[in-house]
Amino acid sequence: MSRGGMRGAAGGAAAAGGVAYQARVAAWAAARILAEERAAGVWGFPSTSLVGLHCETGDGVDDLLLVTSAAGQLFVQAKRQIDLGQNPGSELASYVAQCVRQHRVGRMAMGSSGARAGGSLDWSRDRLVLVTSPGASAGVRVHLRAVLERGRELPVADSGDALATNQDERRARDVVLAHLRRAWEQEHGNAPPCDSCVRS
């Protein structure tokens, strides 16, 4: 087999693995929906259960759209393996760009014609979610997660050094902020509105 053929086979296997992982995440969500209120508590919403599941909605973060009992929308991207890639072409950069796009598109109004924009995201009930496995790097699984969880609790004005408490977290913060600024400028044509808050 040629070297090019080997690359194609590996890409096909990787893509198939990603689709299989996405299906597993969807199956997990479906099981939570069937369990109803007995499965309350999901991604920072302790008293909320899942009530709806949509796959491949077509905008922004589009692997899964989960609807909660509080009328929240959880936009899920499932990545079995992902690392803290700094390159603009990395999977992490692609995910951040999807989040920026979803932020612009907003909530989804689901109807017979499919998903369409339905208003701004409401951070008291909506989430942009990256689901990954133990195969993801510690930079994403541990350090970036800590930064993002801390960020939800902090005022925007404190979102510089307060987000990260050690060198690994600072690296995760800086990598994601660089991707965020780049993606925002590409999507909106200007710098993020709170960019001055995070320069540190």
> Alpha-carbon distance 110 to 30, whole Å?
18
Q: 152 and 124, same structural domain? A: no
pLDDT score of 158: 55
The tokens 């969500």 sit on which residue? Answer: 29
pLDDT score of 58: 78
Antiparallel, parallel or unpaired: β 108-111 and 73-79: unpaired
Q: 123 and 148, same structural domain? A: no
Q: 80 and 32, same structural domain? A: yes
Q: 19 and 110, same structural domain? A: yes
Q: 127 and 81, same structural domain? A: yes
Where a domain ends, among 105, 132, 159?
Answer: 132
pLDDT score of 131: 96
Q: 191 and 124, same structural domain? A: no
Q: Kindly give the confidence (pLDDT) of every residue in the chain, 200 residues in length, as a single tens digit, with 9 standing for 90 and above.
A: 333 333 344 445 555 567 899 999 999 999 999 998 788 888 889 899 999 999 987 778 889 999 999 999 999 999 999 999 999 999 999 999 999 999 999 998 866 555 566 789 998 999 999 999 999 999 999 999 999 988 888 765 555 677 899 999 999 999 999 999 999 999 999 988 765 444 43
φ, ψ of residue 156 in degrees (nearest 5): -55, -40
**R_g of the chain computed on alpha carbons:** 18
> Alpha-carbon distance 71 to 174, whole Å?
33
- What's the domain range around 54? 1-132
For the entire predicted model, the pTM comes to 0.82
Q: 102 and 144, same structural domain? A: no
> Alpha-carbon distance 112 to 120, whole Å?
21
For 22-43, b/e burial (b = at least 16 CB within 10 A) is beebbeebeebbeeeeeebebe
User: Cβ distance 69 to 48 under 8 Å?
Assistant: yes
